[in-house]
Amino acid sequence: MSATAHLTSLTFLSSVPSAAVPEADTYAMLLAGLGVLGWASRRQRRSREVS
């Protein structure tokens, strides 16, 4: 039994969809938005304590 492979003219055509990679700006906007939400929540909590 013999197995040989000839890879001289092998062509790979790939149509596998790749996942989108978020850019750094996307992460910055996400962190900024979460920061604003946290700040607003903290500010609202403080105003309840004062009242």
Task: Spell out the per-residue pLDDT of the chain, length 51, in tens.
Answer: 555 555 566 666 667 677 788 899 999 999 999 999 999 999 988 887 776
* pLDDT score for 24: 92
Neighbour tally for 26: CB within 10 Å: 11
CA distance 22 to 43: 31
* pLDDT score for 36: 97
CA distance 32 to 29: 5
* pLDDT score for 1: 53
Q: Considering just the CA atoms, what is the radius of gyration of the chain in Å?
A: 27
* pLDDT score for 47: 80
Local structure of residue 6 (DSSP, 8 states): -
Residues 6 or more apart whose CB falls under 8 angstroms from that of 42 comprise none
* pLDDT score for 38: 96
